[in-house]
Structure 1
């Protein structure tokens, strides 16, 4: 999060590939990651105590060696991102994870226990590291010129600070809930949060890495970058909003189906977490836009203010209320965050605020209408269809149909643009083959 957030990201937005700068960043990044690994190794008991598991110190010491192994490939990845060569990175990422998973399963069957998971992480990191250097054709040389880092620090420090702030935003609710509401509520929050985060992880994990270098390549064309921002925001909102609002609509039966009877009581937590994430779906492209457009300072202050407000709101709600109160306030904070982030990004891109907010949030509104309809339908059918699995299936089918109709009515221009791009791509492919 810290070592890889700044300098290597700054390489992506540089206009030219200066090898002396690239080598200097490699050694600086490696030095930072080794320092972090040493700190984690030496103070393993302290960090284990913070996590409430002092006995895990030996695992932290082992995992410390993973930090430089993972971050040693950041420069090679940055070069691939600069060249928009994401397919090679995707191939090696998939290969490394697949091979490591097979190795871990085999070792687990042989009785290696937790060591199977540790070996999986190291194997995946090592395979990806070798693959990145093979496809990027980058070979580090012992060139270290600190002056080359100075122009990168202004941008990289903002990114590093924003990454730390985002970490606080995402992790502080868990810490606050565990300390003030107990381990039972912390477990309910953790299980619900993992499940509610799946749509974001599936969709955004691949898209985020593409959008940042894509926006950075448009540095000299503000209009093209502005159009790309609105188009990508609309497309991602169309994809993500129905998943998140749909999960809110079927939270009660879904919690029972996925986690069983023991966790069924926590369905309001799952629903509110899904709702809090659904509110932020139009913001999915904002962070890579601010990074790619060079607004590191705006990104830092936006992330910092969000981290402070989120932590304070959840803390006060947990201190004077219940877990449900904390989740309600998380939804309120995210609604304010949507407006604040939209204002910052649309101002940076010279887009009229209300027009930008309306266009980017329109698919979200359609998804909300769909979710309310599904929620009402399941309430009506609760006695006739008592089976939770059937309720989830009915909700998904009806919700998909309603949402498709709403998108056809409200997003015809966007759909037409997408179809036009697909046809143009096919025509180019046909001409190339011919």
Structure 2
């Protein structure tokens, strides 16, 4: 029987996903700064470059087939088994190719020192793709709570082993062990909770039929991946592993709020929006509500990091990373500018606008890569991050226009409603940054500067949101009342 998707089921699954990502946030909030103090920028950079290649090949290897399974009307086991074996065969070929040509790929990326890591981490490709089918089954059934539990377990185990090995002096191997342990534990957990057991059934015609959808999704996903990962490749090639390490450490920390909110919400919204494809009023209401809520939650975190980047970098990462505080601040700013776009990609995927999403993703990837490369070559790491902020501001307007056209909503009205919480977060961050520059010397302890700045920012943002988002809070209160009124 098909899974019933309604406001209650979506809310429950988002809550589970947020819980999972919040626990991961807590771990990374502690482990990333500790690892950064123990490891060198070059070690961070080497692993980051190798992981970028592995993730890219894993994305190609999956070919979007698991995403195609999610939106199928029925769970046809012959199709599911066929996708499993197709994924496994492609991923093994990818891993073999990466192992054989590791030296050439590492040299091309300007990180020849990382070739041995590429060979070792090639094994991650089949391990990562091996769980795609099991995850797709959980997503179809809206059983994100089970995935959340194993995500928490795998991330916790990986973080603990990484800290122990780093403190014991294992260096870069601490990061490698973290990746492998987390991947293996999550893979085992996905198969346990999905109760999926592969059988040797391979029907090429079923895979080909799914590929009509999956290739479009794969194209847009690859373009989005290039958008997010091309700065690492550009920086490694033109500025060296030390700057790549600084970018990686700052990006890991600045991405934590995104991983908490966006990763949790986007995974649930894709199958949810797909059920509303023919109901414009319902999907429009869901789009606006989910976008406003995620922006209210995420924007103050990102702009708050920008406001407090200088003392935060010194307190969390130590003096050896102090030079990179502008990178942390600009990365947070660039991500903050995209907070209203948090639900746009799952929305376009869910309502069948894969072609539009693909071409916009391609355009974004090209512009982002070119802008970051221009900044890195003509200026340096900070200039590259400034250009990334400029591009993301343009992307915000472009994606908003595409989505509101698809939703048949007036652009200016929709854009203002979605961006209003972000504007309030900008005002809050500007005030906190100004206060820090004017009166920071009165609080010589940098940890105390971070605490006081966060507290002041929280109060300012809370007051601004209460004044501007009363209608949103009214909707949320009404949803809670309706949910309590409905019997289980």
- After TM superposition, the score normalised by the length of structure 2 is 0.81
Question: Which range moved further: 302-311 or 110-119?
Answer: 110-119
Larger Rg: 1
Q: What does residue 156 of structure 1 align with?
A: 214
Q: What does residue 266 of structure 1 align with?
A: 324
Q: What does residue 410 of structure 2 align with?
A: 352
* Count of aligned pairs: 430
Matches for 1:165-176 after TM superposition, within 5 Å? 165-176=223-234
Contact 2:308 2:453 (C-alpha < 8 Å) held by counterparts:
yes
Question: Which range moved further: 59-68 or 386-395?
Answer: 59-68
Q: How far off its partner does 1:218 sit? A: 2.2
1:362 to 413, 420, 423: 420
Contact 2:337 2:392 (C-alpha < 8 Å) held by counterparts:
yes
1:40 to 72, 81, 98: 98
Q: What does residue 14 of structure 1 align with?
A: 72
Q: How far off its partner does 1:183 sit? A: 5.0
1:250 aligns with 2:312: no
Q: What does residue 134 of structure 2 align with?
A: 76
1:328 aligns with 2:386: yes
Q: How far off its partner does 1:98 sit? A: 3.1
1:210 aligns with 2:298: no
Map Cα deviations across residues 265-309 of structure 1 (whole Å, 9 max, x no partner).
333332222211111110111112122222221121111101111
Contact 2:134 2:196 (C-alpha < 8 Å) held by counterparts:
yes
SS of the equivalent of 1:381 reads helix
1:124 aligns with 2:152: no
Contact 2:109 2:237 (C-alpha < 8 Å) held by counterparts:
no
SS of the equivalent of 2:417 reads helix
Question: Which range moved further: 45-54 or 7-16?
Answer: 45-54
Q: How far off its partner does 1:320 sit? A: 2.7
Contact 1:12 1:216 (C-alpha < 8 Å) held by counterparts:
no
SS of the equivalent of 2:253 reads helix
Q: How far off its partner does 1:314 sit? A: 1.9
Question: Which range moved further: 11-20 or 125-134?
Answer: 125-134
Question: Which range moved further: 259-268 or 26-35?
Answer: 259-268
The alpha-carbon distance between structure 1 residues 110 and 272, as it changes in their structure 2 partners (threshold 3 A), is: closer
2:478 to 408, 420, 427: 420
SS of the equivalent of 2:278 reads coil
Matches for 1:82-231 after TM superposition, within 5 Å? 82-102=140-160, 118-182=176-240, 185-231=243-289
Map Cα deviations across residues 351-403 of structure 1 (whole Å, 9 max, x no partner).
22111111110100111111111112222212322332222112111110011
Q: What does residue 28 of structure 1 align with?
A: 86
The alpha-carbon distance between structure 1 residues 119 and 260, as it changes in their structure 2 partners (threshold 3 A), is: closer
Question: Which range moved further: 313-322 or 408-417?
Answer: 313-322
Contact 2:109 2:236 (C-alpha < 8 Å) held by counterparts:
no
Question: Which range moved further: 329-338 or 415-424?
Answer: 415-424
SS of the equivalent of 1:16 reads coil
Contact 1:13 1:213 (C-alpha < 8 Å) held by counterparts:
yes
2:359 to 290, 295, 301: 301
2:336 to 278, 284, 295: 278
Map Cα deviations across residues 10-49 of structure 1 (whole Å, 9 max, x no partner).
1112222222222222221112111111111222222333
Map Cα deviations across residues 48-67 of structure 1 (whole Å, 9 max, x no partner).
33354545444433322222
Q: Which runs of 5 or more structure 1 residues have no equivalent in the other structure?
A: none
RMSD (Å), alpha carbons: 2.5
In 2, the alpha carbon distance for the partners of 1:382 and 1:176 equals 35
1:4 aligns with 2:69: no
Contact 1:346 1:353 (C-alpha < 8 Å) held by counterparts:
yes
Map Cα deviations across residues 141-176 of structure 1 (whole Å, 9 max, x no partner).
222222223332232112212222222222222333
In 2, the alpha carbon distance for the partners of 1:267 and 1:108 equals 23
In 1, the alpha carbon distance for the partners of 2:175 and 2:83 equals 31
The alpha-carbon distance between structure 1 residues 327 and 115, as it changes in their structure 2 partners (threshold 3 A), is: closer
In 2, the alpha carbon distance for the partners of 1:101 and 1:259 equals 17
The alpha-carbon distance between structure 1 residues 254 and 5, as it changes in their structure 2 partners (threshold 3 A), is: farther
SS of the equivalent of 1:219 reads coil
Contact 1:282 1:364 (C-alpha < 8 Å) held by counterparts:
yes
In 2, the alpha carbon distance for the partners of 1:324 and 1:309 equals 18
